[in-house]
A and B are shown apart, each in its own frame.
Chain A
Amino acid sequence: MDFNLTEERQMLQDGLRRYLADATDHDKIAATTDGPTGLDTPLWDALTEMGLPGAMFTEDQGGFGGAGFDIMVVAEELGRAGLPTPLIDSALLSGTVIAQTRPDLVEDLVAGRILGFAHAEAGARYDLSHVTTRAERTADGWRITGTKSLVQFALAADGFVVSARTSGDVTSQDGISLFLVPGDQVTLRDYPLNGGGRAAEMTIDATLPENALLGEAGTAYTLLDTAHARATAAQCAEALGLMETIKTLTVEYLQQRKQFGQPIGKFQALQHRMADVLIEIEQARSSVINLCGNLDQPERDLHVSATKNLIGRAARLVVEESIQMHGGIGMTQEYALGHFAKRLSMIDHRFGDVDHHLERFIRLSMARAA
């Protein structure tokens, strides 16, 4: 048993932490979110240079990482900085699909190319197999029609991995196919997100060549599931980083803010609550470690659901307690906490919320017992 990072990962972590501490802050993130694409391109380029997307792929695939703990190290640092990036969508969701089906394109992703991931739909909630977008064979390729929701960094992407149904009914796991769709074949309505970054509603009416199909027709569900497991691990690690920053901000505030002639951190009522926050963050860290260590193991899905549920609960506690212990200042847009708290609070609204994963955990855990 060894809970230390390898030397490479330690270097990546240190480098990212140092760089991001200087390169960004919540004001810059807010300005980028209000900007045209939601992406700070020079920053993304610099992070690419540091090996961010590359660390999401194995050496065989053309990267230099790809394991659960590579994901953890990188995503936690992005969380600490509160920085929205296309890492999850491009390198992990689209990236997992691309590595399996179009290995020739991994190189581009490692070099920072952004491929958006257009899978979620308005009626799907957190149901991974819910796909109404249709793909029909034509004489020389495919015609895809439908609408996708909440496609992150859509305006920064030059193409998309799009899921579409080639057979089966709306929620059937069979019959889902994936396609590579150029950016100019879709219409976007884009908008800012709580906690930073932008996303878009996407209307697709595309005529595509035969080779737009990624993998085999109708069998994409398993690959989608793997991509989402990896993305969820990244998102949970990001949540952990967000929690760490919130903890630091709150502890500093408890030490520095004086009321009744003493630092409010001297009030036992707050000390005990901050201690509980710390305990839950340590639990969150262990849970993320459990998940990242099991990402390529048979019990992956059990851990995905365990961790996503725990992170959702811990996140709510951390968000609410940190704002409360700050008093009025914690409610303002100007102070950094607000950004981190909002971003952390949104984690439960993607890839399944606490209840979704509790239900799934029960199912998987009972199956394991049986």
Chain B
Amino acid sequence: MDLGYTDEQKAFRDEVRAFLNDKLPKRLSDKVAGGKRLTKEDYEDWHAILNDRGWLGVNWPKEHGGTGWDAVQRHIFEEETTKAHAPRIVPFGLAMLGPVLMAFGSDAQKAHYLPRILNGDDWWCQGYSEPGAGSDLANVQTMAVRDGDDYIVNGQKTWTTLGQHANWIFCLVRTSKEGKRQEGISFLLIDMNTPGIEVRPIVLIDGEPEVNEVWFKDVRVPVGNLVGEENKGWTYAKYLLTHERTNIAGVGFARAGLSALKRIAGGQMEHGKPLIENPFFAAKVAQVEIDLMAMATTNLRTISAAAEGQAPGAESSMLKVKGTIIRQEINALTKQAVGPFAAPFISEALDEGSNVEPVGPDAAMPATQAYFNNRKLSIYGGSNEVQRAIISKTILEL
């Protein structure tokens, strides 16, 4: 048992720090730290900077242009980038589709799509959920019917994160209605510029059009865009979800959130003293910090097991549940910290270069927004109820 990083891991951490110090544009880290709105270009700029260094394919092997890092290195990278307020890496192409193509795609698909993901030629979005298929994902109804060398796709996807920026979508579609529901699903890559596709924004409670509905009406998709075998999509979909769940604990985000919380609560005065010295408030901050310290080790325990070749299975469900509870508690405390100024909502003030001043402390509006927005953490990627069901079935065997 040794809780520290090895010398090698420390050297790697220093290398990441030096890189961030050198290459992370202040313009971007200021926006992230200040809770400002990030544009498509902001993400693309950051991706390009990482790609120049060869660090964009964080969980990709070297042969496909990835870093080849092990789980601990990925953890260090995540921790340092969140601490430095780097934009997050948009996961859809890099963390989700990439690994699926590597495992199940044809050589032609790998050769075509993987470099385009790294170079930023394509922005992918995830077309899994449908109005009737949320937790019950196997219920997808979007139909793909074979017609010569094409599939003709009809149906609707929803909750498609940042679909407004995307030029490609990977979809779970139904190619068969026979047998078990899971056995009639295929994994299809669809060019968003194909006629018959319509993207409609959904505004979330924090006022941001973060997700979309994507409608398909007689959309022709070449058969060559099928990944793997027809009707085997469920296997690939689940493979992808295990990758979606890497980093699910969000320890880096939680640490960044906690230090922001302490800074904000240190600046809010109450009866002439900083709020962080109020024992009632300080107790709650301390409790979440204690939870986070343990969580960080739970996370590392899971990660090191994975690094030794054991796949994190149901353990990642544990990380998801506790990790999101911790992050949501930090969000709630930050909102509490800003006090009466949690109430104003001046959307324009979140735009870069806007001359509209916020009201109250700068941290106030982003704090409320983050509180509402991060309710999603326990809903998406398999809701916390679904994760608990996995834990009780798989680990507890109940």
State whether A333 and B343 are in contact (beta carbons under 8 Å apart), knowing that A324-B375, A328-B129 are contacts in the complex: no
Q: Is B278 an interface residue (CB 8 A)?
A: yes
Task: Give the residue among B129, B132, B280, B380 with the most A Cβ atoms within 10 A.
Answer: B280
Query: Is A25 part of the contact surface with B, judged by Cβ < 8 Å?
Result: no
Pairwise interchain contact A334-B345, C-beta atoms closer than 8 A: no
Chain B hits for A330, CB < 8 A: 375, 379
**Are B340 and A350 closer than 8 Å at their CB atoms?**
yes
Complex CA–CA separation, A171 to B270 (angstroms): 11
Q: Does B82 sit at the interface, judged by CB under 8 A?
A: no
Checking A122, A342, A350 against B372 with a beta-carbon cut-off of 8 angstroms, the contacting residue is A342
A192 pairs with B385, CB closer than 8 A = no
Is there contact, CB below 8 Å, between A331 and B204?
yes
Q: Is A120 located at the chain interface by the 8 A CB criterion?
A: yes
The answer to whether A350 touches B343, judged by C-beta atoms less than 8 angstroms apart, is: yes
Interface core residue of B134, B332, B344, B383 (most chain A CB under 10 Å) = B344
For B132, list chain A residues within 8 Å (CB).
258
Flag whether B139 is at the interface (Cβ < 8 A). yes
In the complex, which residue of chain B has the Cβ closest to the Cβ of A273?
Answer: B385
A320 within 8 A of B: yes
- B134, B368, B371, B389: the one within 8 Å of A328 (CB): B134
On whether the beta carbons of A333 and B203 are closer than 8 Å, the reply is yes
A contact residues around B340 at 8 Å (CB) = 120, 125-126, 149-150, 349-350
Q: Which A residues are in CB contact (< 8 Å) with B269?
A: 123, 125
Q: Give the distance in Å from the alpha carbon of A293 to the alpha carbon of B101 in the complex.
A: 67
* B346 in contact (CB, < 8 A): yes
Is A192 within 8 A of B345, CB to CB? yes
CB contacts (< 8 Å) of B389 on chain A: these are 269
- A201 contact set on B, CB distance < 8 A: 359
Q: Is A127 an interface residue (CB 8 A)?
A: yes
Report how many residues on chain B are interfacial, defined by Cβ distance under 8 Å: 49
Minimum C-beta distance from A202 to chain B (A): 12
A316: CB under 8 A from chain B?
yes
B344 x A199 contact (CB < 8 A) = yes
Q: Tell me if A327 counts as interface (CB < 8 A to partner B).
A: yes
Q: Specify the chain B residue showing the minimal Cβ separation from A337.
A: B205
Question: B360–A149 contact, CB under 8 A?
Answer: yes
In the complex with contacts A126-B339, A150-B344, A259-B135, A359-B272 CB distance below 8 A: no
Contact of A338 among B139, B205, B272, B359 (CB under 8 A): B205
How far in angstroms is the closest Cβ of chain B from A271? 12
Query: Which chain A residues in 319-370 approach chain B with CB under 8 Å?
Result: 320, 323-324, 327-328, 330-334, 338, 341-342, 345-346, 348-350, 353-355, 358-359
**A302-329 Cβ-contact flags toward B at 8 Å (1 or 0):** 0000000000000010001001100110
Q: Is A194 an interface residue (CB 8 A)?
A: yes
- B2-42 to A contact mask, C-beta < 8 Å, 1/0: 00000000000000000000000000000000000000000
Contact between A192 and B204, CB atoms less than 8 A apart: no
A126 to B272, CA, bound (A): 12
Tell me, in angstroms, the Cα distance from A253 to B271 when the chains sit together. 44
Given A342-B372, A349-B340, A328:B205 Cβ within 8 A: no
Q: List 29 A-B contacts (CB under 8 A).
A: A125-B275, A126-B340, A127-B270, A127-B271, A149-B341, A150-B344, A191-B345, A191-B346, A191-B359, A192-B344, A194-B342, A194-B368, A199-B343, A258-B132, A259-B134, A267-B385, A323-B375, A324-B375, A328-B129, A328-B158, A330-B379, A331-B205, A332-B203, A332-B205, A334-B203, A345-B371, A349-B340, A349-B341, A353-B336
